[in-house]
Amino acid sequence: MQCRTGCGACCIAPSIRDPLPGMPEGKPAGVPCIHLTAELRCGLWGHPDRPRACDGFQAEPAFCGSDRRSALELLEAIEIATLPSTRD
């Protein structure tokens, strides 16, 4: 699947725990990355400082759904489902 034009869900919904340029503490879930362009594209695409999590992300229906809204919802659900457990 090709990355959907005008989406940017992968730059908004998930958290990024690794530091990235301008965001040394990473990025919280639901907060747009500062490198998300006005066209909703990754401004670090192909850059050596692009975080591993971003570089490894592959657009596919299970993550991106059929439109931007479903992509945001799916990625948010995955983020919540994969949060580290706080149980002792």
Structural domain includes residue 4: no
> Is residue 71 within 8 Å of residue 62, measured between CB atoms?
no
Structural domain includes residue 3: no
> Is residue 12 within 8 Å of residue 72, measured between CB atoms?
yes
What pLDDT does residue 86 have? Answer: 64
Domain count, the chain: 1
Statement: the pTM of the whole predicted model exceeds 0.75? yes
Structural domain includes residue 88: no
Identify the domain containing residue 43 by its residue range: 9-81
Structural domain includes residue 15: yes
Q: pLDDT tens-digit profile of 22-68?
A: 999 999 999 999 999 999 999 999 999 898 889 889 999 999 999 99
Structural domain includes residue 33: yes
Long-range contacts formed by 74-78: CB under 8 A, 24+ apart: 75/9, 75/10, 75/12, 75/13, 75/14, 76/13, 76/29, 76/30, 78/14
Q: Place 1 in a pLDDT band, splitting at 50, 70 and 90.
A: confident
What pLDDT does residue 87 have? Answer: 60
